[in-house]
Amino acid sequence: MNPVRLTAEIVEAFAGTFLSVHYDGASKVPDFHRQVWEMYCSDHLQCACAAPRGHAKSTAFTLAYGLAVMLFREQSYAIILGSSEDMAVESLAELTYELQENEDIIREFGIKRFITEQKTDIIVECNDGYQFRLVARGAGQKIRGRKWRGKRPGLLLFDDVEDDEQVESTDQRKKFQKWFLRAAKQCIRLGGKARGHGTILHENSLLANLMKNTQWKSLCFKAHEGFDDFSNLLWPERYTEAILRSKRQELIDGNDAAGYSAEYLNDPLDNTDAFLRKDDFLPMEAADFCSEKIVCGAADFAVSKLDTANRTALVVGGKCLSNLLSIVDVRVGRWDPVQWVEELFTLQKIYNFAVFWVEGGQIWKSISPFLYREMQLRDCYINIEVINPVKDKATRGRSLQRRHRAQAMRFDKTKQWYEGYEMEMLRFTGTSQATLDDQFDATALLSLGFDNFRHVEVDDMYSEEEEEFLRDSRNSRNRIPANIPYPVGLAAIE
């Protein structure tokens, strides 16, 4: 048998014909598997793929691709690299099982015997004398200078080569990346290929950096669009929205929402560079729910429903007598103007905003006539105030950052929107563009609006009729009647 140039179609056909019978819960091949096979079968010497946990990376890319490379004789010497020797041995054992027990593979590819059969090293001979070798090694193990029959490995195949411990600290990450690029990567022969897949566990992990390295071709996939957006499911036949929501909730209940973002969205959260600190997201307490507030809102508008477009975010906050700003409601979505106008009027009916702030600019100029016309038609008027646009997001967010770090904000963490909101807020670094920052922009605008809003005073909590009654009460030295509400913590007004 002569060497065959692999293609994605050949790998898929090989997997379906020879391997799928042993799959646990086999289902339709997802498109992203085909995309990765196509990349792996290309002429690019260095390729990396990030995909969610549980999406058959090892089966499709280590087992199916790894066996195809050897059996179709594209390469004859490969190293399988895992996060530890045990993990690499486990991967090699899967390939060994198919070569020993799969009668179809043995017959069609002429497997004759195992010249070497160790848990970390196998050499296989075919009927026509062709031999190939697979070696398993763990991260950090000696790998330099390996040769077999006078040649270096032609393929380095790494599978989930990083674990939580290896990305735990800056020193560990640097040490591992240095070992990989200086030792592991350099062990392959000139013109040899490196292929690897895994899940991004840290923003500065090896895999995350390979995604940004101009010398590597890479693909990055997530199970669905965003933490609170379950559109564009990556593998809907296997991972339905219900399954993914259940997995997300399990991690939320375990106080590890960031874990879901890393494992299923390849979007790990490194709070060290965050514009806002995680510890400053303080929950609303009983007194915060009961206190009288001046309630205002702010919006970051978008005008497209496309999956790749920005979203419209509406944020509602109330400021109490202690000048604490509580975020009580957040609405976000890829809506057209008709849809977000409905959301805005719904919020107006609930909260009766003292002020609703918007940012000036082209979007506001284009949508404001429509909004004001709707106010007139509905006979429902919102007190809109326009804030001059600030192009630099970090500058716009300074008010929010100062208020947040002073622990002068509270958040209703009981609401369903909260986890996705916090995740997005923590994504913003002030120096790099976040994938999603609409809720950050709206909250920053809300904080900026309250900066220019006078301090909340006791009289803000009463209507004109109540204020007139209170003045009469003071003049007659009477206490406030029990049926007149007053702010928490004030027993009476002299």
Q: What is the CA radius of gyration of the chain?
A: 30
Partners of residue 132 on adjacent β-strands: 124
The token pair at 342 is: 């409905």
Statement: residue 129 has pLDDT above 90: yes
- Residue 170: the pLDDT is 81
**Domains in the chain, ordered, with CATH?**
8-221 (3.40.50.300), 272-451 (3.30.420.240)
- Residue 385: the pLDDT is 94
Q: Which amino acid is at 452?
A: N
- Residue 482: the pLDDT is 40
Token pair 């909004």 is found at 371
The token pair at 431 is: 């120096």
Query: What is the Cα–Cα distance from 171 to 81, expressed in whole angstroms?
Result: 21
Query: What is the Cα–Cα distance from 367 to 206, expressed in whole angstroms?
Result: 45
The token pair at 314 is: 């509406």
pLDDT digits (tens, 9 = 90+) for 285-318: 999 999 999 999 999 998 766 645 578 999 999 9
What is the rounded average pLDDT of the residues 467-485? 48
- Going by C-alpha positions, the residue among 226, 264, 201, 162 that lies closest to residue 434 is 226
- Compute the residue count for the chain: 494
Q: At what angle do helices 438-451 and 418-427 cross, to 10 degrees?
A: 90
pLDDT digits (tens, 9 = 90+) for 315-353: 999 999 899 999 999 999 988 889 999 999 999 999 999
pTM, entire model: 0.69
pLDDT digits (tens, 9 = 90+) for 360-388: 988 899 999 999 999 999 999 999 999 98
231 backbone dihedrals φ, ψ, rounded to 5°: -85, 170
Residue predicted with more confidence, 323 or 468: 323
What is the rounded average pLDDT of the residues 464-493? 45
Token pair 């026509």 is found at 128
The band of 466, judged by pLDDT with boundaries at 50, 70 and 90, is: low
- Residue 427: the pLDDT is 82
Is the separation of the CB atoms in 487 and 318 below 8 Å? Answer: no
Query: What is the Cα–Cα distance from 112 to 92, expressed in whole angstroms?
Result: 19
Query: What is the Cα–Cα distance from 8 to 29, expressed in whole angstroms?
Result: 12
**CA 97 vs CA 103, 117, 119, 167, 175: distances in Å:** 11, 11, 11, 32, 34
Determine the longest span between alpha carbons in the chain, in angstroms.
111
Statement: residue 415 has pLDDT above 70: yes
**Quick check: helix, strand or coil at residue 229?**
strand
Partners of residue 106 on adjacent β-strands: none
Displacement of CA 381 from its chain's centroid (Å): 38
What is the rounded average pLDDT of the residues 199-224? 93
The token pair at 407 is: 């622990």
Helix (H) or strand (E) holding 130, with range, is none
The band of 489, judged by pLDDT with boundaries at 50, 70 and 90, is: very low
What is the rounded average pLDDT of the residues 378-404? 91
Query: What is the Cα–Cα distance from 276 to 343, expressed in whole angstroms?
Result: 27
Q: Which of 129-138, 293-302, 473-482 has the lowest mean pLDDT?
A: 473-482
**CA 114 vs CA 139, 154, 188: distances in Å:** 26, 20, 23
Question: Over pLDDT 70: what percentage of the chain?
Answer: 88
Query: What is the Cα–Cα distance from 451 to 439, expressed in whole angstroms?
Result: 19
Statement: residue 487 has pLDDT above 70: no
**Quick check: helix, strand or coil at residue 77?**
strand
pLDDT digits (tens, 9 = 90+) for 3-60: 889 999 999 999 999 998 877 766 889 999 999 999 999 999 999 999 999 999 999 9
Which residues 6+ apart lie within 8 Å of 240 measured at CB? 233
The band of 235, judged by pLDDT with boundaries at 50, 70 and 90, is: very high
- Residue 460: the pLDDT is 54
**CA 130 vs CA 75, 110, 112, 117: distances in Å:** 11, 10, 10, 16
User: Using CA atoms in the order 174, 176, 178, 180, what is the torsion angle rounded to 10 degrees?
Assistant: -150
The token pair at 19 is: 């391997």
Over the chain, what is the mean pLDDT?
A: 87
- Residue 278: the pLDDT is 86
Question: Which strands form 409-411's sheet, in the order they lie side by side?
Answer: 384-387, 356-359, 294-300, 312-319, 325-333, 409-411
What is the rounded average pLDDT of the residues 196-206? 91
- Going by C-alpha positions, the residue among 93, 96, 92 that lies closest to residue 105 is 96
Q: Which amino acid is at 226?
A: G
**Quick check: helix, strand or coil at residue 89?**
helix
The band of 389, judged by pLDDT with boundaries at 50, 70 and 90, is: confident
Statement: residue 478 has pLDDT above 50: no
The band of 168, judged by pLDDT with boundaries at 50, 70 and 90, is: confident
